Amino acid sequence: MSASLMSARARLMSGRARRLSVLAAGGALAAACAGPVAARPGGPDPVTSLPATTSASPPKSPSASASGPAAAPVVAAAGDISTRCTGKGCGARATSDLALALDPDAVLALGDLQYPSGALRDFRAYYDVTWGRFKDRTRPAPGNHEYRTPGAKGYFRYWGRAARPRGRSWYGFDLGAWRLISLDSTAPHGPGSAQAAWLESELAAHPRRCVLAYWHHPRFSSGRAHGGDPSVGTFWKALYAARADVVLAGHEHNYERFAALRPDGEPSGDGLRQFVAGTGGASHYPFGPPVTGSEFRDAAHFGVLRLVLRPGGYDWRFVGSGGRVLDSGGGRCV
């Protein structure tokens, strides 16, 4: 784990003795933080009411808190998060309470983090008081709404070095045995672009058995609002060639899990499994007919995708803002 992540975790842990979690009522949060179970078939339950706000951060299991190359770090991920809303019924408040209670080692913010345009004043007024509570351990990716402010200046000023650790809005880092790659699907990313060339060199320079990449626009989606974006196929082809494993995206305001897919969208054991988690609290978008490879869909809940990144594999749980596990399972690195 990086020094910055360790420092952030230490600061947050110091206040645990003073915190209580309403999400743990009835054992819902305990179930969300437990080990993997088989993926559930079928659709989601109806929308449930959001929980009361909390800043709880209960102790983690030893397997999730261990350090070093054999650790299994916990990641929390979502995109499409904060609107101009501050009350207890705000979606971003509910999902940030959940993410805080899950106590991840890193938070992957999947773009469109502050609506409507990623203005700095809105980041400070709304995002910062919810998901900003774990800003120090967040590794962001920008979305199209950030770029509604020219040059995404509000996003880059709010995040500082975290948004461009090496002077550009795409970057890679190690977490446990995994290599994680954050990409910018709004910046130029087609064949021959600087970002596409960097991705190929990044994958060659940091070979890992297990690789996770994340950006805002999903390559595949059954969503009715936007659907899949063929332009990010450039990313998918490079990652597939390097035998990467997991892709995370947002943009569609729903949750969708896919089978491992080749660049042409056909299921394959050596493909990439994509999770769309545009469930951070902005709104809900409906689904159209399922596209090839779609295995689970939920358009009724805000929530957080929790991943345990084991050496050689991963476990996932999509946890609704009320603390209930709505989808879960596990996979192996190719």
Q: Is residue 60 part of a domain?
A: no
The mean pLDDT value for 132-150 works out to: 97
pTM of the model: 0.83
Per-residue pLDDT at 32: 58
Phi, psi dihedrals of residue 12, rounded to the nearest 5°: -70, -35
| Alpha-carbon gap, residue 144 to 265, rounded angstroms | 24
| Alpha-carbon gap, residue 230 to 263, rounded angstroms | 10
Per-residue pLDDT at 318: 98
Q: Is residue 159 part of a domain?
A: yes
**Angle between the 194-205 and 233-241 helix axes, to the nearest 10 degrees?**
20
Q: Is residue 136 part of a domain?
A: yes
The mean pLDDT value for 94-116 works out to: 97
| Alpha-carbon gap, residue 201 to 173, rounded angstroms | 14
Burial class (CB within 10 angstroms; exposed 0-12, middle 13-18, buried 19+) of 128: middle
**246: containing domain:** 73-332
What's the distance, CA 32 to chain centroid? 16
Per-residue pLDDT at 37: 38
Q: CA dihedral in degrees (312, 314, 315, 316; nearest 10)?
A: -170
Tokens representing 107 are 């938070």
Helix H segments across 103-211? Answer: 120-122, 153-159, 194-205
User: Residue 276 — very low, low, confident or very high, per pLDDT cuts 50/70/90?
Assistant: very high
Q: Is residue 117 part of a domain?
A: yes
Q: Is residue 99 part of a domain?
A: yes
Residues 6 or more apart whose Cβ sits within 8 Å of residue 27: none
Render pLDDT for 192-204 as a digit per residue (tens, 0 to 9): 999 999 999 999 9
Strands (E), the chain: 74-78, 106-109, 138-140, 171-175, 178-182, 211-214, 246-249, 255-261, 272-277, 294-298, 303-310, 313-320, 325-332
Q: What is the DSSP string of 278-307?
A: --SSS----B-SPPTTEEEEE-S--EEEEE
Per-residue pLDDT at 79: 98
Number of domains in the chain: 1
Render pLDDT for 210-263 as a digit per residue (tens, 0 to 9): 999 999 999 999 999 999 999 999 999 999 999 999 999 999 999 999 999 999
Q: Is residue 171 part of a domain?
A: yes
Cα–Cα distances in angstroms (integers) from residue 53 to residues 91, 98, 256, in the given order? 11, 9, 26
Q: Pick the more confident residue, 42 or 286.
A: 286
Look up the CATH number of the domain holding residue 115: 3.60.21.10
Residue 127 has pLDDT above 90, yes or no: yes
What's the distance, CA 208 to chain centroid? 20
Cα–Cα distances in angstroms (integers) from residue 105 to residues 102, 130, 151, 319, 321, in the given order? 9, 17, 30, 17, 19
| Alpha-carbon gap, residue 300 to 223, rounded angstroms | 13
206 touches 178 (CB < 8 A): no
Q: Is residue 35 part of a domain?
A: no
Per-residue pLDDT at 248: 98
Q: Is residue 10 part of a domain?
A: no
| Alpha-carbon gap, residue 181 to 202, rounded angstroms | 9
